[in-house]
């Protein structure tokens, strides 16, 4: 069973929203914890300023204290996923020294250090071995009304098939057309292209804005809720947070190469619309990937921001959770660039992963391995005695689900005990035919027919079981993942 650790700061939330607001947020978190449990995720929350927390935080804005506390809690809890709950005025970014000489960012606000075991430092070189699947679910910096944040925490995040993520909105500054088209071909398949800006944007047709995947290679500026195109010396608005508000489709995944595209600024203090990232997340998006500062990438070919944004969307579309997609993006970028230059170093530090790390936007029709082993021949009722009923239970990426087959058949994409129930998230490539007959061809209309009571052990990529099942509470770790045994009821 996967484990998720939520970290936040109670005093910082209370300062923003008052005591009652903080209590309401905590209740929303408890609701989330209950919802996670129905998806096979054990979630806990730790307030970093709680005196019982190891190396607890006494000053909410102290970056070193926050890094030290999160490291201590991670070591104590050993979770699979880490979710930072709140914006930078709740749990601060780690401000790292900008390695790029001559640009206007003296520091690079980053969540990368929270993904690494290395101790507090302002040197990006210290954080090039990320091992933690970390993301941030931010509220709006400087906000005083907790209701939108509570709605974000409470919101259900059902997965969808990859077919929902085939159509996309891709927008590029006209001068970067070649680079953006290459990125979109790498993400969505050869021949896909971006809308050049200008002449396109910012009032995108609903058919474009309502797609589930958004990619932007546009200009951005600090404290600005707009992205800009470019043609020659002209920089017209190409994307506007105010226009996006209320139009984003639930489940949208977004990657933006824009400078400051994920900067979590205080909109009230600046007198502008809330940031693009908050607008997307509050509007229903599951994941937002973007930069806190000036981002880099070539006008021809791909590099830096192009690659990280590509990797993130590719991993999400392949069926990874938001947290794992972020971790794989970071490790892949570092591995692909053994001699990291200044702009590469800045890139790996500046991009934020925003959203709930345990959410899987995409359910893939992954083909896992199947192992069949004999189980003792005992009455079905005896199996039930040690099990508890879980309605609409689910298994998550990397879990191993064991389906006990008393009799009947298991067909491609369905489980039957003894009747067929639709289960489109799962299929397989081969099976040990112990106690089973194998009919049909792999990848086609294959089915397994049980000739004796057996266990069908299914390595699951991702799947929700749309039928009642019995779930054993005991589990063990197998190859870094939890072993969850799920028995289908008759």
CA–CA distance, 62 with 33 (Å, rounded to integer): 28
Fold classification of 160-363 (topology level): Rossmann fold (3.40.50)
Which token pair is 51? 């005196």
Residues 6+ apart with CB under 8 A from 93: 63, 109, 110, 111, 292
C-alpha 428: how far from chain center: 25
Asked if residues 463 and 425 have their Cβ atoms less than 8 Å apart, the reply is yes
pLDDT digits (tens, 9 = 90+) for 98-143: 999 989 999 999 999 999 999 999 999 999 999 999 999 999 999 9
* Identical fold between 2-137 and 160-363: yes
**Structure confidence at residue 488 as a pLDDT band (50, 70, 90):** very low
CA–CA distance, 108 with 153 (Å, rounded to integer): 27
CA–CA distance, 210 with 124 (Å, rounded to integer): 37
Asked if residues 172 and 180 have their Cβ atoms less than 8 Å apart, the reply is yes
The DSSP 8-state label assigned to residue 231 in this structure reads: B
CA–CA distance, 281 with 382 (Å, rounded to integer): 46
Asked if residues 459 and 400 have their Cβ atoms less than 8 Å apart, the reply is yes
CA–CA distance, 69 with 72 (Å, rounded to integer): 5
pTM score, whole prediction:
0.76
pLDDT digits (tens, 9 = 90+) for 64-93: 999 999 999 999 999 999 999 999 999 999
Peptide bond into 418 cis (omega under 30): yes
The DSSP 8-state label assigned to residue 146 in this structure reads: -
Strand, coil or helix: 334: helix
CATH class for the region spanning 2-137: alpha beta
Residue 304 CB neighbour total at 10 angstroms: 23
pLDDT digits (tens, 9 = 90+) for 137-176: 999 999 999 999 999 999 988 888 888 999 999 999 999 9
Which token pair is 65? 């204290």
Distances (CA, A) of 308 to 21, 300, 304, 320, 355: 36, 16, 7, 15, 17
Residue range 341-363: average pLDDT? 95
**Which pLDDT value is given to residue 457?**
36
Residue the block writes with tokens 């689910």:
394
Distances (CA, A) of 443 to 365, 373, 400, 448: 11, 22, 21, 13
Distances (CA, A) of 120 to 151, 191, 348, 416: 33, 44, 17, 53
The phi-psi region of residue 257 (left if phi > 0; otherwise alpha if psi is between -120 and 50; otherwise beta) is alpha
Strand, coil or helix: 358: coil
**Structure confidence at residue 471 as a pLDDT band (50, 70, 90):** very low
Higher pLDDT, 369 or 310: 310
Percentage of residues of the chain with pLDDT beyond 70: 74
Distances (CA, A) of 138 to 282, 354, 459: 10, 7, 33
Domain spans of the chain, in order of start: 2-137, 160-363, 370-488
**Which pLDDT value is given to residue 227?**
98
Residue range 327-346: average pLDDT? 94
Which token pair is 149? 């944040």
Strand, coil or helix: 170: strand
pLDDT digits (tens, 9 = 90+) for 225-257: 999 999 999 999 999 999 999 999 999 999 999
Asked if residues 20 and 149 have their Cβ atoms less than 8 Å apart, the reply is no
Task: Answer yes or no: is pLDDT of 419 > 50.
Answer: no
Higher pLDDT, 421 or 185: 185
Which token pair is 12? 């910082």
Percentage of residues of the chain with pLDDT beyond 90: 69
Residues 6+ apart with CB under 8 A from 362: 159, 160, 161, 162, 164, 165, 316, 317, 318, 319
CA–CA distance, 260 with 278 (Å, rounded to integer): 13
Higher pLDDT, 132 or 468: 132
**Which pLDDT value is given to residue 163?**
87
CA–CA distance, 304 with 217 (Å, rounded to integer): 12
**Which pLDDT value is given to residue 389?**
30
Task: Answer yes or no: is pLDDT of 476 > 90.
Answer: no
CA–CA distance, 186 with 192 (Å, rounded to integer): 9
What is 289-343 written as a DSSP string?
Answer: EEESS-----SSS--THHHHHHHHHHHHHTT--HHHHHHHHHHHHHHH-SS--HH
Residue 67: burial class (beta carbons within 10 Å; 0-12, 13-18, 19+): buried
**Mean pLDDT of all residues belonging to the chain:** 79
What is 31-89 written as a DSSP string?
Answer: HHHHHHHHTTEEEEEEETT-TTSTT--SSTT-HHHHHHHHHHHHHHH--SEEEEES-TT
Size of the chain in residues? 490
Torsion of CA 68, 4, 461, 151, to 10 degrees: -120
Task: Answer yes or no: is pLDDT of 19 > 60.
Answer: yes
The DSSP 8-state label assigned to residue 209 in this structure reads: H
């Amino acid at each position: 069973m996967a484990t998720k650790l939520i970290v936040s700061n109670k005093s910082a939330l209370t300062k923003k929203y008052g005591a009652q607001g903080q209590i309401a947020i905590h209740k929303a978190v408890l609701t989330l914890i209950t919802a996670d449990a129905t998806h096979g995720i054990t979630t806990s929350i730790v307030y970093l300023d709680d005196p019982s927390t190891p190396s607890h935080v006494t000053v909410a804005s102290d970056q070193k204290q926050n890094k030290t506390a999160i490291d201590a809690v991670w070591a104590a809890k050993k979770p699979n996923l880490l979710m930072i709950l709140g914006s930078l005025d709740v749990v601060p970014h780690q401000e790292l020294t900008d390695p790029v000489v001559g640009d206007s960012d003296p520091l690079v606000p980053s969540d990368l250090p929270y993904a690494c075991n290395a101790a507090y430092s302002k040197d990006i070189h210290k954080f090039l071995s990320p091992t933690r699947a970390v993301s941030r679910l931010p509220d709006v910096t400087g906000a005083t009304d907790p209701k939108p944040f509570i709605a974000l925490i409470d919101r259900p995040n059902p997965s969808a098939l990859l077919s929902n993520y085939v159509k996309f909105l891709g927008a590029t500054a006209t001068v970067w057309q070649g680079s953006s088209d290459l990125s979109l071909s790498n993400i969505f398949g050869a021949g896909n292209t971006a809308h050049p800006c200008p002449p396109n944007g910012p009032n995108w047709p609903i058919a474009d804005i309502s797609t589930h995947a958004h990619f932007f290679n546009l200009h951005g500026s600090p404290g600005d809720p707009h992205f800009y195109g470019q043609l020659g010396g002209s920089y017209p608005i190409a994307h506007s947070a105010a226009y996006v508000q209320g139009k984003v489709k639930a489940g949208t995944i977004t990657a933006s190469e824009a400078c400051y595209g994920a900067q979590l600024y205080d909109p009230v203090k600046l007198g502008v619309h809330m940031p693009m990232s908050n607008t997307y997340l509050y509007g229903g998006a599951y994941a937002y990937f973007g930069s806190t500062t000036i981002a880099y990438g070539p006008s021809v070919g791909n590099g830096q921001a192009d690659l990280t944004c590509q990797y993130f969307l590719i991993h999400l579309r392949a069926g990874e959770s938001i947290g794992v997609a972020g971790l794989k993006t970071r490790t892949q970028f570092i591995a692909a660039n053994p001699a990291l230059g200044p702009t590469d170093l800045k890139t790996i530090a500046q991009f934020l992963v925003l959203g709930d790390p345990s959410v899987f936007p995409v359910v893939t029709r992954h083909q896992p391995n199947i192992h069949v082993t004999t189980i003792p021949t005992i009455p079905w009722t005896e199996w039930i005695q040690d099990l508890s009923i879980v309605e609409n239970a689910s298994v998550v990426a990397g879990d191993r689900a064991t389906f006990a087959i008393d009799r009947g058949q298991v067909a491609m994409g369905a489980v039957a005990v003894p009747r067929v129930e639709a289960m489109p998230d799962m299929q397989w490539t081969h099976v040990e035919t112990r106690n089973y007959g194998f009919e049909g061809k792999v990848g086609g209309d294959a089915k397994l027919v049980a000739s004796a009571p057996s266990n069908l052990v299914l390595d699951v990529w991702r799947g929700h079981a749309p039928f009642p099942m019995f779930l054993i509470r005991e589990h063990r770790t197998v190859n870094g993942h939890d072993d969850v045994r799920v028995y289908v009821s008759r």
